[in-house]
A and B are shown apart, each in its own frame.
Chain A
Amino acid sequence: MALPVYASPLERIWYYAYRVICALIFLFLIAPILIIIPLSFNVEPYFTFTEKMLALDPDGYSLRWYDTLLTFGMANPEAPRTSSWWMDVWNNAAWVRAAKNSVIIGVSSTIVATVLGTIAALGLSRPEMPFRRAIMAILISPMIVPIIITATGLFFFYSATGLAGSYVGVVLAHATLGIPFVIITVTATLIGFDKSLTRAAASLGASPTTTFFKVTMPLILPGVVSGALFAFVTSFDEVVVVLFVAAHDQQTIPRQMWNGIREQISPAILSVATILVIISVALLATVELLRRRSERLRGISN
């Protein structure tokens, strides 16, 4: 979209104004995420840049808020930092407990969502699938229905079935919320899938199971993994269902953040946020690499 030589002065002005506008919108998108990173190293309990920080004075920066992530909720935070202190962190620190819960719930719900979602996507992408459109609409609906409605429904359902306040309940709910993402990414991968490959495998004597694991799976794996990452992020970031159906034992990172933001927001929240941003950068990079690999595998080149 280079500027043509015959452009009028007005068009020249618009050309540069347009780029400035776009730059500002990009700033709007990205600045809020980046701004919290330096602020999380603030030595003062404020949410703004102090003069020392602006002068890049090392005294203006500290890791104290990251330290509170470890000490908050500990039985004896003042003790010397020996192995027993670290045991205390591992067992009692509120944020560490929340992180453990988030990982347990996230990984379990991702496994459920990915296995069920991938199998279903294989069926859905077959041309002979009956009621394809209606079933697809039902399977995607957990993503569309407002989370508060899902949480309300689950609250009634879990109260009646005794799943309230259990890990199983939260995992099932998060799996449900992650499934649409798995379905979407895996079916998208399967659209470009060459059916003659499975036929070739069959004609060479491979059983359907062998064909699936030796031919289909390696080709759709990038889509499956990025679907799984989406499902994991969904669970890792979910707070409403946890608020409604989980007990204190299933406190997750978002739940803990929710408390922190609602009650008394401290820069400790910003240090958690910074860690989460780093995690999302890593996930984004993984998904991007997988997408490229998938396109290469399927022979779609840029």
Chain B
Amino acid sequence: MADATTDLAAPTPGRLTTADGRPLKAALGRAQSRARRRAFLLVLPLLLFIVITFIVPIGQMLHRSIHNDGFSRNMPQLSQWFADTEPGTEPDEVAYAALAADLKGAAEAKTIGIVGTRVNYEMPGTRSLFTSTGRKARGFEPPYREAVLEADPKWGNPSLWGTMRQVSRAYSPNFFLASVDLARDNEGNIVRAPQERRVYVMLFQRTFLIAGLITVLCLLLGFPIAHLLATLPLRTSNLLMILVLLPFWTSLLVRTTSWIVLLQGQGVVNNSLVATGLISDANRIQMIYNQTGTIIAMTHILLPFMILPLYSVMRPIPPSYVRAARSLGASSWTAFRRIYLPQTLPGIGAGALLVFILGVGYYITPALVGGASGQLISNLIAFHMQDSLNWSLAAALAAVLLAAVLILYWLYDRLVGIDNLKLG
């Protein structure tokens, strides 16, 4: 300690110190770490807020996608029997006794419906088996095997036992398998889902296709506009910019409503076409409540998200580059293709990624104007949340969608940088 004091009091020559004698490097380090801590403390409240109201709920959803204890919690004895035996074991009297006891318990606790629903997700048409046998379970006497089979011979079905073995574990990847049209057979092997239940892969494909198409359409429509705005004098372009920003600020539901008004059978567009004699009254074009409606309305809604990043990249491009190319003999097309277009690529990338990311997760517009053929994956998630009440499957589908969006988001951050996100 004494050494240190002398060291501080009489610094060796060549070593910088602060006024109180501490080495400059240490003092600076302390000051910097204090500044870092201060900056972090400013952000901390919001970070905690977002973690609690956003990250934790999403984590909970992800947990739900692999966890469903609807069977194991309400059928404890049978679940225990499944845990104790090898997969493929023939159900013996012990198993049937456990089944009878659990059915009786679940029927008394009025949880038999939850159990039936859980099995029903994996094996459609079994819910009523549980509820009807549950009503008779009070009168079961040993031997239970005969008693249960007498109540309903369907209990002898080996694939029912295979399914029950699968759902007896609270944690299972089955919902993720279902979300990509896979299932497990009685032996637990992964196989493709039956033909009539294969919808999710098709819907994911459709979602990505439609989002891609909308991105291309937005680029085709947005590029000329952004270019015009970027080359006009600022006073004029600021005025025209209002035409882009007004849709951006207008409620999504308002814009969707206006497309319904415009495009429906008796709507403005069809009526004008009939009035001008382009189509006959009988041949009104079906433009809404199908894929066309989704694509038109979503393109309109997402177009500003393409124009704004494009504009902010195009505005600073000096016009002299193109003029130089022209003066060196390039045709106007060559000058555009070789000189102008490459400079706008960052804007194209930013706009396209943003539109695609937003398009993939769209829910409201497809739900209102999409009809049957214009539904996207989000609509199916909502369906499983609100109508079929298969929450674990909804969560698994949402997790797959989330993974796709996060990859795109990461890409956006790498290519564009989140800091460069601009609004208006």
A binding-site residues for B, Cβ under 8 Å:
1, 11, 14, 18-19, 21-22, 25-26, 28-30, 32-33, 35-36, 39, 46-49, 116-117, 119-120, 122-124, 126, 128-130, 133, 135-142, 144-150, 152-158, 160, 172-173, 175-176, 179, 181, 184-185, 187-188, 226, 230, 233, 236-237, 239-240, 243-244, 254, 257-258, 261-262, 265, 269-270, 273, 276-277, 280-281, 283-284, 287-288, 291, 302
A222 to chain B, nearest CB (A): 12
The A-contacting residues of B in range 234-291, CB under 8 angstroms, are 234, 240, 242-247, 249-262, 264, 266-268, 271
17 intermolecular pairs with C-beta atoms under 8 Å apart: A14-B332, A29-B243, A33-B247, A36-B254, A123-B43, A124-B39, A126-B38, A129-B36, A138-B55, A139-B47, A153-B59, A153-B398, A156-B395, A236-B251, A243-B386, A276-B254, A288-B242
Q: How many inter-chain contacts with C-beta < 8 Å in the A-B complex? A: 266
Contacts of B47 in A (CB 8 A): 120, 135, 138-139
> Bound complex: CA of A19 vs CA of B228, how far in Å?
8
Contacts of A47 in B (CB 8 A): 260-261, 264, 266-268
Q: Are B422 and A120 in contact (CB under 8 A)?
A: no
> Bound complex: CA of A116 vs CA of B54, how far in Å?
15
Q: Are B39 and A36 in contact (CB under 8 A)?
A: no
Q: Are B264 and A141 in contact (CB under 8 A)?
A: no
Q: Which of A49, A120, A283 sits near B271, CB closer than 8 Å? A: A49
Contacts of B419 in A (CB 8 A): 136, 187
> Bound complex: CA of A36 vs CA of B260, how far in Å?
10
Q: Are B398 and A148 in contact (CB under 8 A)?
A: yes
> Bound complex: CA of A155 vs CA of B268, how far in Å?
39
B5 to chain A, nearest CB (A): 32
Q: Are A237 and B268 in contact (CB under 8 A)?
A: no
Contacts of A240 in B (CB 8 A): 363-364, 382
Look across to chain A and name the residue whose beta carbon is closest to the beta carbon of B45. A116
> Bound complex: CA of A177 vs CA of B128, how far in Å?
42
Look across to chain A and name the residue whose beta carbon is closest to the beta carbon of B35. A128
Task: Report if A128-B36 is in contact (Cβ < 8 Å); known contacts: A22-B224, A146-B361, A147-B361.
Answer: yes
> Bound complex: CA of A30 vs CA of B262, how far in Å?
13
> Bound complex: CA of A250 vs CA of B394, how far in Å?
25
Look across to chain B and name the residue whose beta carbon is closest to the beta carbon of A21. B224
Look across to chain B and name the residue whose beta carbon is closest to the beta carbon of A181. B423
**Chain A proximity mask over B223-238: 1 for CB below 8 Å, otherwise 0:** 0110010011010000
Contacts of A135 in B (CB 8 A): 43, 47
Q: Are A254 and B267 in contact (CB under 8 A)?
A: no
> Bound complex: CA of A33 vs CA of B247, how far in Å?
7
Q: Are B54 and A130 in contact (CB under 8 A)?
A: no
Q: Are B42 and A28 in contact (CB under 8 A)?
A: no
Q: Are A144 and B244 in contact (CB under 8 A)?
A: no
Contacts of A179 in B (CB 8 A): 46, 49-50
Q: Are B256 and A261 in contact (CB under 8 A)?
A: yes
Look across to chain B and name the residue whose beta carbon is closest to the beta carbon of A254. B253
Given contacts A33-B254, A147-B361, 15 further A-B contacts (CB under 8 A): A1-B231, A21-B224, A36-B257, A47-B264, A48-B261, A49-B271, A123-B41, A129-B43, A142-B50, A149-B381, A150-B57, A153-B57, A281-B249, A284-B242, A284-B246
B73 to chain A, nearest CB (A): 16
The A-contacting residues of B in range 314-360, CB under 8 angstroms, are 319, 332, 357, 360
> Bound complex: CA of A277 vs CA of B386, how far in Å?
31
B198 beta carbon closer than 8 Å to chain A: no
> Bound complex: CA of A139 vs CA of B418, how far in Å?
10
Task: Report if A254-B43 is in contact (Cβ < 8 Å); known contacts: A29-B303, A48-B267, A142-B50.
Answer: no
A185 to chain B, nearest CB (A): 6
Contacts of B55 in A (CB 8 A): 138
Q: Are B332 and A148 in contact (CB under 8 A)?
A: no
Contacts of A26 in B (CB 8 A): 225, 240, 243
